[in-house]
Amino acid sequence: MSIFGTRPEAIKMAPLVRELALRPEFESLCCVTAQHRQMLDSVLEIFHLRPDYDLNIMEPNQTLSTITSKCLMGLEGVMSQAKPDLVLVHGDTSTTFAGALAAFYQKIPVGHVEAGLRTWDRYSPFPEEMNRRLVGEIAELHFCPTASNRENLRRQGVENGAFVTGNTVIDALRTTVSKEYRFTTKLLNELDYTARKVVLVTCHRRENYGKPMASIMTALRRLADDFPETELVYPVHLSPVVQEAAAQYLSGHPRIHLIPPLDAEEMHNLMARCYLVMTDSGGLQEEAPALGKPVLVLRQETERPEAIAAGTARLAGTDEETVYAMGAVLLRGGDGYTSMARAVNPYGDGQACRRIADAIAWKFGLSHRMPEEFAP
């Protein structure tokens, strides 16, 4: 049983749910908590997923406690009815933690997809770092995107059941991006991606709420002011906190386009055509390098150091002057830009879902073949 609830979990679990459904040795069930409602439904539609269970828990301005307790209560009923042999959770959200805990309460083994990412700072990202550490304790199977993720698990004392598979987001990306793609969003079809510098922005993390978000957004507005050839496209997350900040700091500018969240196909194809990505999102940090786009990470730290090591991403932090200065270097073009604009694939080769399914089959004695590991 695959359990997920937010947009990124859904995008990254969709190809795995599909892979499991295609394999005769498994019966694949799918349960969504709908921690996100609209943003989840958009992914379900794009990837043609029909959940077997939907807890529909989302509330406006929900707190961490409400999400966790509603998921836990709902999942208790679902799991006692369906009695799965294995529960799969993804990443580090409240749904992830509650899904793993609910399975543990019923002594159902847990497989953790996107395991082993760490900053080693318990409050950043918050609450994700603690969610994933706790799930690391509960899970019996750990599907690590990279070898360094598995090293992190070892440091936490997890020695067994870890497989290096690549990140399933790269599998997803292979099904969404195409050169011929035509956007359904009018603005995105009208933008001139050759003559203009289209900067794709997202910003939503809880630890950036308040001052850091205000500083980031002020820097973005200054970049738009000072570089007249830029078009800043920001699909704004539906969190009321983020909506309010974006309206306050970024609205009313002719070259800053605040638009509703995009569906995954629109988003991935926009990323494939843009000039630069500025983001605090985890998923975007993984996708942009595969598409050859430089990334400025709008955070103090990252659990995804691989793209930084490869030279295609840089940590810009959340200080206004630094974000502005680093953005300016890239917008000026030249070597500062071209040295970062290279396609690299440190996060996966599009085969993660096959490896995960193979590892599950092997673990349950349904196959004698352990999957080969992902190596970039």
Which residues contact ligand UDP (rule: CB under 6 A)? 7-8, 11, 169, 202, 204, 235, 261-262, 264, 267-268, 281-284, 287
Options 20, 32, 39, 102; binder of ligand UD1; rule CB under 6 A: 39
| Catalytic annotation present for 204 | yes
Q: Which residue is nearest to ligand UD1 (CB)?
A: 93
Among residues 2, 28, 35, 208, which is the contact residue for ligand UD1, using CB under 6 A? 35
235 binds, among ligand UDP, ligand UD1, none (CB under 5 to 8 A by kind): ligand UDP
Is residue 92 within 8 Å of residue 62, measured between CB atoms?
no
Considering only residues 123 to 152 of the shown chain, the ones binding ligand UD1 according to CB under 6 A are 127-128
* Catalytic residue chosen out of the listed positions 142, 237, 257, 299: 237
Is 122 in contact with 132 (CB distance < 8 Å)? no
Q: Interface with ligand UD1 includes 8 (CB under 6 A)?
A: yes
Tell me whether residue 206 is one of the annotated catalytic residues.
yes
268 counts as catalytic: no
Q: Verify binding: residue 69, ligand UD1, rule CB under 6 A.
A: no
Q: Report the residue from 48, 50, 61, 192 that binds ligand UD1 according to the rule CB under 6 A.
A: 61
Among ligand UDP, ligand UD1, none, what does residue 202 contact (CB within 5–8 Å per kind)? ligand UDP
Q: Does 247 bind ligand UD1 (CB under 6 A)?
A: no
Does residue 12 belong to the site contacting ligand UD1 (CB under 6 A)?
Answer: no
Contact 11, 172 (CB under 8 A): yes
Q: Identify the active-site residue in 204, 257, 273, 299.
A: 204
What angle, 0 to 180 degrees and rounded to 10, lies between the N-to-C axes of helices 211-226 and 240-250?
40
Does 33 interact with ligand UD1 (rule: CB under 6 A)?
A: no
Contact 128, 120 (CB under 8 A): no
Partnered with residue 259 across adjacent β-strands are: 235
| 205 carries an active-site annotation | no
Smallest gap from residue 235 Cβ to ligand UDP (A): 3
In the annotation, is 237 catalytic?
Answer: yes
Q: Does 334 bind ligand UD1 (CB under 6 A)?
A: no
Euclidean distance between CA atoms 216 and 82, whole angstroms? 46
Active site residue 114: yes
From the CB of 178, what's the least distance to ligand UDP, in Å? 15
Burial of 50 (0-12, 13-18, 19+ CB in 10 A): exposed
350: partner contacted, choices ligand UDP, ligand UD1, none (Cβ within 5-8 A by kind):
none
62 binds, among ligand UD1, ligand UDP, none (CB under 5 to 8 A by kind): ligand UD1
Which of 114, 129, 265, 280 is labelled catalytic?
A: 114
CB 374 to ligand UDP: min, Å: 19
Footprint of ligand UD1 on 258-287 (CB under 6 A): none
In the complex, the residues that contact ligand UD1 under the rule CB under 6 A are 6-8, 35-39, 59-62, 64, 67, 92-94, 127-128, 204, 206, 237-240
Just list the catalytic residues.
92, 114, 128, 204, 206, 237
